[in-house]
Amino acid sequence: MFANGKIVAYPTDTSYGLGVRADDEEMLDRLYEIKKRPVTKFTSLMVKDWQMLNEYAEVPEILTEKFFTASPRTVILKPKESLPKSPFWPDHAVGFRIATRPAVASAINYPVTATSANLSGQSNIYDPSKIVGEWGSEILIFSESPVLDDSISPSEIWDYTVPNKPKRIR
């Protein structure tokens, strides 16, 4: 489902996100255009599992897979050369999330954007029908798209770029 040339709205453990393959420059540009998001606001990336995270990021020994299961979390890590460079995330530190919904995880075969499914600066979206109302057919809706609980807080953000000194940012 996350193929080149597609923007996909998908459920996360917090709200709906918009996914574009991290190697699809044309659709990354289009994603920022339709969200009216300034290029100076970076996006994080969603990976399918711990193995994929290790493939695209330098994961310190103190960070474990279990860390991602305690609550919704984004972790800022140094990217590996395998992750394409992009103006939409910094070269030295990229936010990563691990998909917690099995159907979403199985659909990810390459890192995808994990930006919220809303216009920049607007409220998060928890109901897929509102995405259709906002963008129509411009965005594909993930096949398993329930209405999400709007009481869940946004993901915590942790910076693991300084060795042995993780820092909570949000």
- Is 2 within a domain? no
- Is 95 within a domain? yes
Structure tokens, 170: 């949000």
- Please work out, in degrees rounded to the nearest 5, the angle formed at the alpha carbon of residue 41 by the alpha carbons of 129 and 159: 105
- Give me the domain span that covers residue 115: 8-168
Q: Which residue do the tokens 């919220």 mark?
A: 116
- State the pLDDT at residue 163: 85
- Is 138 within a domain? yes
- State the pLDDT at residue 4: 84
d(Cα 110, Cα 26) in Å, to the nearest integer? 16
- Is 3 within a domain? no
Q: CATH number of the domain that 33 lies in?
A: 3.90.870.10
- State the pLDDT at residue 80: 97
**Cα dist from 63 to 67, 78, 82, whole Å:** 7, 13, 20
- State the pLDDT at residue 70: 81
CB contact at 8 A, 89 and 2: no
- Is 31 within a domain? yes
- Is 1 within a domain? no
Per-residue pLDDT of the chain (170 residues; tens, 9 = 90+): 888 899 999 999 999 999 999 999 999 999 999 999 998 999 999 999 999 999 999 999 999 999 998 889 999 999 999 999 999 999 999 999 999 999 999 999 999 999 999 998 899 999 999 998 888 888 999 988 999 999 988 999 999 999 889 999 99
pTM assigned to the model: 0.92
Burial of 133 (0-12, 13-18, 19+ CB in 10 A): exposed
Give the total number of structural domains in the chain: 1
- Is 114 within a domain? yes
